[in-house]
Amino acid sequence: MPPKPSRPSRSFSFSLIRIAFFTAALFGALLTIAGVYYLILIIQLPDIRSLQDYNPPLATEILAADGSPVGLLYKEKRVLAPLSEMPPHLIRAFIASEDSRFFQHRGVDLISILRALGKNIWAGEIVQGGSTITQQVTKSLLLTPEKSFSRKVKEAFLAYRLDQNLSKQDILFIYLNQIYLGHGAYGVEAAAQTYFNKKGRDLSLAESALLAGLPQAPSRYSPLVNFSKAKERQRYVLSRMVEEGVLDGATAAAAEREPLVFSRTADPNLTLAPHLVDMVRKFLYQNYGSEFVLTAGLKIYTTLDPVFQRAALEAVERGTTAVYQRHLYSKPLRQIPPDQIEAYCRQLARAAANTPRKNGSVQPGVITQLDPAGTMARVCLATGEGVFPLPRRPAEPRETAADDESAADKNPLGSYQVGDVLNFRLEPEKPYLSLAEQNPVEAALLAIDRSSGAIKALVGGKDYGQTEFNRAVQSKRQPGSAFKPLIYAAALDKDFTPGTVILDAPITFGGHPPWSPQNFDHKFNGPTLFRTGLIQSRNVVSIRILQRIGVNYAVRYAQQLGIASPLYPNLSLALGSSGVSLAEMVTAYNCFNNGGARVLPYYISRILDRSGRKVYDHPPRSEAVMEADTAYIMTHLLEGVVKEGTGWRLKALGRPVAGKTGTTNDFRDAWFIGFVPQVTAGVWVGLDSLTPLGSGETGAQAASPIFLEFLQKALANLPPEDFPVPPGILFQPVKGKGPAAILEAFKAPKEIQPQDPNPYSGSP
C-alpha cells in the first residue's frame, strides 16, 4: 500500500503567506513611491499655458523703405514668421527629417524612437533623433537642457499635454520659430537671412533641405564651417522627403545639384548701410532703452532706398580708389634689370612652391610689361600672373584756370616702370591686382528726397569695419567754394541780381599781417557779373559780395538754411573757412531745390511693434526760409556751374542738374554738392589725418566723379525732369564775356513792393 502523500507543514504555508504579504507590500510601496513621484513630478511641471501665447524674445528688424532687410538688433537673432510666410517644402523638410509621424502621434512617438535607435546602431553614430517636434518644443521652452532621466520623463509628460492643448499647426509655428540653427540664428526666418541673406519665403528646396539638416548639431553641420558635412545632411533630408512621399526622386536629385550661394557676412548690420544702422541703434537705445529694443521685435522702417544705397557704395569705393591710385601708391621695393626679370620670376615661384594662392594674401610681384597705352601693367607673381592698372598723377593746374576747381582732366602716367617690384594683394573675385597697402582716402555721401528730406542713401566712410566714425554727419570740414552759393543766395535777397557787376580786382584788409585774398589763378578779371563770379568761383568777387551784405547777416542766413555748426564771422567765410558737416551742406542746398522750403534730413519713417501697431510716425516738417524766386535763381545759377563751370562733368548725366564744387587749401578737402529735381546729394573726399589729398585733387577732380557715378546708377530707371519755374520769374538777356547775350533769370517786380518787406533784410 503506497504511502499517503504528506500534507504541507504549517510552517511552509506560513512562509508562502509571508512571501505573498511582503510581495504585495513591496508592490504597494512601489506604487505609492511611483504615485508620490508622479504627484511631485506633476507639481513641478511648468505651466504649458505660457505656450498658448507664444511671445519669445524677438530681434528688432531695421528695414529699407521697400521693406527689404538692412539690419538686426537682438539678444537672440529671431524674426517671427507665420507658417503662411514659409514655403511648403521648408515645412515638409523639417517634418520629414525631425518627426515624420508628427501628425499621427500624440506628442511622444515610441515607433520613431525605436526606428531612430536602429538607424543609429546601424550607422555607428547618431544620425537621427528620437524626440518628436513636440518634445523639442517643450525642452526648449519649458525645461532645462541637462540630460537626465527625470528631465526626459518631464519632457514626455509635457509633450503629451502640449499636444492636447495646442493644434499641430500651433506647435509647428512655435518649433520653426524657436529652433536654434547656428551662428546665432533662432528660427528659420533668421537662419534664412543669416545663411542666404533672403526672406524665408524665398528659400529654394535645396536651401530649405540644408536648413532642415541643422537642428541635430548646428555647429557641426554649418555650411559656413563644414560644407561637406552640411551637404551630407542635406542629402539625408532630401532622401527622407522621398521616403515619406512628399518629394519625387528627380526633384530631390535636382535640388541636391543646385549650387548654394551663402551670404558673405553673417552680420546684416555691416552689409548695406552700417552707418545708418548705427544711427538707428543709437536713436532707439536713447528713446526706448537697449533691453526693450533687443527683445521687443520692433520693425523699424527707414527711408533708405536700396538702389540708391548700392549706387552710393559703389561710387564711393571707385572714387576713393581712383584718388589713391593717382597719389598714394607705394614706392617700388626694388628695381630688377630687364635681363634679370625672367630669373627673378622663377625665384619667386620657387620660394612660394608650397604656398597656396589665398584670397587677400600679399605677394611680391615684378612689372614685366606695360601696354602700349601705358594704362596697364602685366605683373609676374609667385603664384602666376596678373594685370595691374597703373596709377595716374593729375597734371598741374592750367595757367588759364578760371577758378580753384579747374585742374586739368588729362593726367600723365605715374612713375612705375618695367622691373619695378611691389607688394600686391590677391583678390580673385576682382579682375585686377591692387597694391597691398591700405587706402587711406575717405569719402562720405548723403542723398535726400527733395520734398521730404528722407535720406535715400548714406555712406559715412568707405569701411565701417575700420572706423564707426560717420563722416556724413559727425565730421566738420571746411567746404571751400561749396559754401559760396549760400553767400550768393543771401545777396539775392539783398537786391543783388545775376546781372549785378562786382569788381574783380586786388583788395587788401588791414591786420597783422594784412590779408590780400587771391583768385586761384592769381589773376583779376576786372568788372565781373554776379553770375560769372559764382560760375567761375572767383574768390575776390565772393569776398566783395560778403563785404557788401554784411558778415553777420550772411551767418544768420546760412543758419536759416540749415547750417548749425559755428560760423566764424569774418570775410574768409566767403571762401568756406568754417567747418561744417556734409549733412548741413546738403540741407542748405536742398532749400534751393525745394522752392525755398527747408526740410531736415531724417532716416526713420515709422516704427511698428511686434503686433504691427504703429508706435512712431515721422511728422512732416517743412519751413519756408527763402523766397521761391530766390531759390529758383540759385538753381538756375548752379545749373550754369554745370554747363559752363567746374561742374562740367555732370553734363554726362544727360538731365537737368545743378551743383557746386568745393576745394580747400592744399587740396585737403574736395566737395561736390548738387541736385536734380527729385534728389539733393553731396560728396566729400579727404583724409582723416587732415593732410593733403595730393596736387590737383579738387572738388571737380575727386568729388564730382563720385557724384556723377552715383546719380547715373541711382536714377537709371527714373525719367529726367525739369526744374519747375515759380511764378514771378522773368528771363532777360545779360551780356556775358562773349558776344552773345545770356538769357538769365530775374525776380519780377512786386505789385506792391513797399508793402512786401524782404524777410532777410533784418534778423532772419
Task: Give the tens place of pLDDT for each residue, 235-247.
Answer: 999 999 999 999 9
Q: Of 154 and 512, which is predicted with more confidence?
A: 512
Residue 24 lies in a domain: no
- Is residue 358 domain-shared with residue 461, that is, in the same domain? no
Q: pLDDT tier at 375 (50, 70, 90 boundaries)?
A: confident
* CATH number, domain containing residue 698: 3.40.710.10
* pLDDT at 355 exceeding the cut of 80: no
The per-residue DSSP string of 566-593 comes to ----SGGGGGT-S-B-HHHHHHHHHHHH
Domain boundary among 388, 416, 438: 438
- Is residue 455 domain-shared with residue 415, that is, in the same domain? no
DSSP summary character for residue 393: P
pLDDT at position 186? 93
pLDDT at position 540? 95
Helices (H), 574-668: 582-593, 628-644
* CATH number, domain containing residue 195: 1.10.3810.10
- Is residue 188 domain-shared with residue 127, that is, in the same domain? yes
- Is residue 518 domain-shared with residue 373, that is, in the same domain? no
Coil vs helix vs strand at 370: strand
pLDDT at position 317? 92
Q: Of 558 and 764, which is predicted with more confidence?
A: 558
Domain boundary among 240, 271, 302: 271
Residue 60 lies in a domain: no
Helix H or strand E encompassing 280: helix 274-288
pLDDT at position 28? 64
Q: What is the mean pLDDT of residues 140-144?
A: 63
* pLDDT at 115 exceeding the cut of 80: no
- CA torsion angle for 136, 88, 212, 56 (degrees, to 10)? -40
Output the average pLDDT for the chain.
84
Residue 198 lies in a domain: yes
> Cell 504649458 identifies what position?
48
* pLDDT at 408 exceeding the cut of 50: no
Of 142-151, 490-499, 742-751, least confident by mean pLDDT is: 142-151
pLDDT at position 274? 94
Helix H or strand E encompassing 207: helix 205-212
* pLDDT at 30 exceeding the cut of 70: no
Q: Of 548 and 164, which is predicted with more confidence?
A: 548
Q: What is the mean pLDDT of residues 28-53?
A: 58
88-98 helix and 227-243 helix, angle to the nearest 10 degrees: 90
Helix H or strand E encompassing 24: helix 10-44
Residue 317 lies in a domain: no
Residue 760 lies in a domain: no
Calculate what percentage of the chain has a pLDDT beyond 70. Answer: 81
pLDDT at position 385? 85
* pLDDT at 380 exceeding the cut of 50: yes
* pLDDT at 306 exceeding the cut of 60: yes
Question: Starting at the edge strand that comes first in sequence, how are the strands of the sheet with 658-663 ordered?
Answer: 455-459, 441-449, 679-687, 669-675, 658-663
- Is residue 376 domain-shared with residue 456, that is, in the same domain? no
pLDDT at position 264? 62
Tell me, yes or no, if the pTM score tops 0.85.
Answer: no
Evaluate whether 436 touches 425 at the Cβ level (below 8 Å).
yes
- Is residue 558 domain-shared with residue 575, that is, in the same domain? yes
Q: Of 437 and 365, which is predicted with more confidence?
A: 365
98 noted as active-site residue: yes
Contacts of 410 (CB under 8 A, 6+ apart): 395
* pLDDT at 184 exceeding the cut of 70: yes
Cis peptide before 619 (omega within 30 of 0): no
Residue 492 lies in a domain: yes
Helices (H), 649-754: 704-714
- Is residue 141 domain-shared with residue 217, that is, in the same domain? yes
* pLDDT at 291 exceeding the cut of 70: yes
Q: What is the mean pLDDT of residues 679-695?
A: 93
Contacts of 280-285 with C-beta under 8 Å, sequence gap 24+, read 280/62, 280/71, 280/603, 280/604, 281/71, 281/73, 283/604, 284/60, 284/73
Interval 46-87: pLDDT, tens: 556 666 678 889 999 999 999 998 999 999 999 899 999 999
pLDDT at position 312? 97
pLDDT at position 754? 33
Q: What is the mean pLDDT of residues 112-130?
A: 61
* pLDDT at 42 exceeding the cut of 70: no
Domain boundary among 271, 291, 312: 271
pLDDT at position 560? 97
Question: Which of 98, 207, 639, 709 does the annotation list as catalytic?
Answer: 98
Q: Of 148 and 103, which is predicted with more confidence?
A: 103
Highest-confidence range of 12-21, 156-165, 267-276, by mean pLDDT? 267-276
Q: For residues 224 and 330, what is the distance between their CA atoms, to the nearest angstrom?
A: 35
Question: Which of 112, 131, 481, 578 does the annotation list as catalytic?
Answer: 481
- Is residue 392 domain-shared with residue 491, that is, in the same domain? no
pLDDT at position 286? 94
Of 120-129, 150-159, 211-220, least confident by mean pLDDT is: 120-129
* pLDDT at 399 exceeding the cut of 50: no
- 567 lies in which domain range? 443-753
Q: What is the mean pLDDT of residues 420-440?
A: 79
pLDDT at position 371? 82
- Is residue 634 domain-shared with residue 673, that is, in the same domain? yes
Q: For residues 68 and 331, what is the distance between their CA atoms, to the nearest angstrom?
A: 44
481 noted as active-site residue: yes
Q: Of 348 and 706, which is predicted with more confidence?
A: 706
Interval 564-622: pLDDT, tens: 999 999 999 999 999 999 999 999 999 999 999 999 999 999 999 998 999 999 998 89
Domains identified in the chain, total number: 3
- Is residue 367 domain-shared with residue 500, that is, in the same domain? no
Phi-psi map region of 395: left, alpha, beta (phi>0 left; psi -120 to 50 alpha): beta
* CATH number, domain containing residue 406: 2.40.50.140
- Is residue 434 domain-shared with residue 451, that is, in the same domain? no
* pLDDT at 403 exceeding the cut of 60: no
Q: pLDDT tier at 465 (50, 70, 90 boundaries)?
A: confident
* pLDDT at 363 exceeding the cut of 50: yes
- Is residue 501 domain-shared with residue 593, that is, in the same domain? yes
All three cell numbers of 574, joined, read: 566767403
Q: What is the mean pLDDT of residues 368-382?
A: 85
pLDDT at position 442? 95
* C-beta neighbour count of 744 within 10 angstroms: 22
Q: What is the mean pLDDT of residues 97-107?
A: 87
pLDDT at position 753? 34
Residue 226 lies in a domain: yes
Strand (E) positions, 597-657?
Answer: 597-598, 604-608, 614-617, 623-624
* pLDDT at 624 exceeding the cut of 90: yes
Q: What is the mean pLDDT of residues 143-152?
A: 59
Q: pLDDT tier at 757 (50, 70, 90 boundaries)?
A: very low
* pLDDT at 122 exceeding the cut of 80: no
Q: What is the mean pLDDT of residues 212-223?
A: 92
Residue 601 lies in a domain: yes
Phi, psi of 653 (to 5 degrees): -65, -30
